[in-house]
Structure 1
């Protein structure tokens, strides 16, 4: 406590009892796909391999030959060699205790220290160095290493993706196009997990389990996965986590009349965490220099991100242009969509050459119509996660009227801002939401269990899926 010793006015800072709830991120994607081990990786800018003139004798393993005094056996005529380890990386010599061995040339000059691409020190003998060149006389660059398989890697741009998984090529085509489409359509942040072969994700359950530790992921896609086993695994993962949704690719080989072929997993409560899109899209392939057909899930994830940034997660990510799409793999008419939309299959259509997402439904069954729309499911996830993160202050606080008021005020202020942004339906806040945390929700028997219970009700806005104008003729006067 401060001491007040002389008369005067004292102004002091009083920290708030609780901080306002900040909305969580909603458009961070997690992608799983094939990147072969032998993909061609791009060069590291400004890094090349060098050769150095050696002035000591090397054995068959490339190590210096020591004389009777445990010193390098020097030779008169220098011979060129590249200081590399067994993996082809520049290396340095160590003694039995792991210490760097200082090497001297014939004149007693110290060795040259060179940094390799991993910022390790390479020890080579003193002398001028020359670039290693290929048969055409070009310097040999140091290449990026392909990212380890089976581990999620954070990617924040297409350029960064190329340094981890390579540029467009046959060994990564589907995943590369998906991630490129994600960033090109508005995505800013994703986690990418690669496998070496397609058979490894015939059932992606093990790979999806790796995403459980990445709390910020809110969208999950396995581009090109169309089987029932794959879809079931992705849906189960999202339902288990409860804070993310799946973007599924419909089977492009199936015609618009085959609902169960396009969508091999039936509608259900669990499937309210998933949205499926059909047909596939055509994009320009830099490898073949021609249009190629790819699954749309990566581009759709980017549209989710763009929609969240420009309108808000509560707005349905539909009637949105698929940027970078040249066409759809098959044209779907309105009559054909009439049979797909009620089954939870979101159609991508071409309108006078503009490719648009023309559906906004989840795969929820009729018993779970509250989550019929993907915007409702994603917004509900957003509310749950935001309130969860923003009310951690309440844990272990005295369970009394003061705590109840703090919770009610904190959550109420957050929902008031959501109503003002247009996410909640109602002419007034009282009609849009309520927060109840009092003696009625927290009777003695609840408090004795160490629980504090808050009841929250929200009226989430729903998309205008069917816009109807009724026009009649009137007699003119």
Structure 2
């Protein structure tokens, strides 16, 4: 078991106690870009036919339209569009605060302003993703080769938290049709993430997955080039198989726990669900009965994840653990302050290695 001394999560406001941990949505993208005068702020879209009606006709055309079409063609459903026209990126992100189901952030036109601007955007979006237990899907520039894509990702200078919540894809995709120009792959990739989550679960790596819609990579990438490009995720075309997403790494190169997208997203999903469950403890005494209710609820929830194949291990004990209690996860000072700490460990990589998730909440004083 790994050392569990990791930063917790502070929860500021809570509601009435629940004895269950419901599973929330895992794949709800937010596409961030300049949509001109099509709409103001943030709009919700749930299908390709609804795009023009909800967000304006112009949104469904050009590069942006091709990216969004790729999203819906590959299994995407509900998503949000945030308009940066006349706003800073931070202002656009602030407007998203009202939509707490967003789990994926996709900046459009990442390279339109050049490398420096791409780095600023990548850092801002990855920072926001990390703070929301979400993921950022980024892409290389149109003319990058695999090594340049890798170097560009490193030039973003993401810290460990940012890089663990971001992935970068290469190369661009060429939609079907005569004279079609390459478009960023992020729409298709976001759709693949949604499809894999729906068919298999958030714990399944979104790799070895077909890109629907007939799009083809704008560049061929060899095995050697792909290996050299790590941690960049590539899209490749294989005879008889079409175009596949052929990689599932985050941009984190320093912490083996968060090397893979599926592990980071599973931990994010578990933390979001547990946080929602413990919001209800504010009116409960910070005492053993409350802790046992929370422990039991978390145990039932994680047992469900394990039985669906989301965790490794032949037994529950090998798959996960749940800890809460004075002298276990809390000190006497924690209890007196009305603060409880719930810790869980997930065998998301292999049964001998637990991935930590810590949730700190506030309850009534004992």
Shift of 1:182: 1.2
Contact kept? 1:314, 1:461, Cα under 8 Å: no
Query: Corresponding residue for 1:235?
Result: 126
Q: Post-superposition shift, 1:167?
A: 4.1
Alignment of 1:259-274 (within 5 A): 259-261=150-152, 264-266=155-157, 268-269=159-160, 270-274=162-166
Is 1:302 aligned to residue 191 of structure 2?
yes
What is the number of residues matched between the two proteins?
324
Q: Which residue of 1 aligns with 2:9?
A: none
Does the CA contact (< 8 Å) of 1:30 and 1:191 recur in 2? yes
Which secondary structure does the structure 2 equivalent of 1:247 belong to?
Answer: strand
Alpha-carbon distance, 1:220 to partner: 0.5
Aligned to 2:325: 438
3-state SS of paired residue (1:350):
strand
Change beyond 3 A, Cα 1:261–1:392? closer
Q: CA 1:326–1:404 in structure 2 vs 1: closer, same or farther (change >3 Å)?
A: closer
The structure with the largest helix share of the pair is 2
Deviations 1:90-121 (A, max 9, x none): xxxxxxxxxxxxxxxxxxxxxxxxxxxxxxxx
Q: State the Cα distance separating 1:423 from its structure 2 match.
A: 1.0
| CA deviation profile, 1:437-456 (whole Å, cap 9, x unmatched) | 23323443221111122222
Q: Take 2:26 and 2:164, find their aligned partners in 1: how far apart are those partners?
A: 17
Q: For residue 371 of structure 1, what is the aligned residue in structure 2?
A: 258
Cα displacement (A) at 1:238: 1.1
Match of 1:173 in 2: 62
For residues 45-124 of structure 1, what are the structure 2 equivalents within 5 Å?
none
Aligned to 2:307: 420
Matched, 1:334 2:223: yes
Q: What is the DSSP-based 3-state SS (H/G/I as helix, E as strand, rest coil) of the residue aligned with 1:331?
A: coil
Distance 1:329 1:264 in 2: 23
Matched, 1:216 2:101: yes
Q: Which residue of 2 aligns with 1:406?
A: 293
With 216-225 and 391-400 compared, the bigger mean Cα shift is at 391-400
Larger-gyration structure (1/2)? 1
Q: Please give the secondary structure, in 1, of the residue aligned with 2:235.
A: strand
Distance 1:262 1:238 in 2: 16
The alignment's TM-score, normalised by the length of structure 1, stands at 0.64
Let me know the Cα RMSD of the aligned residues: 2.1
SS at match of 2:81: strand
Q: Distance in 2 between matches of 1:369 and 1:398?
A: 39
Gaps of 5+ in 2: 1-16, 112-117, 351-366
Q: Measure the CA separation in 2 of the matches of 1:21 and 1:33.
A: 34
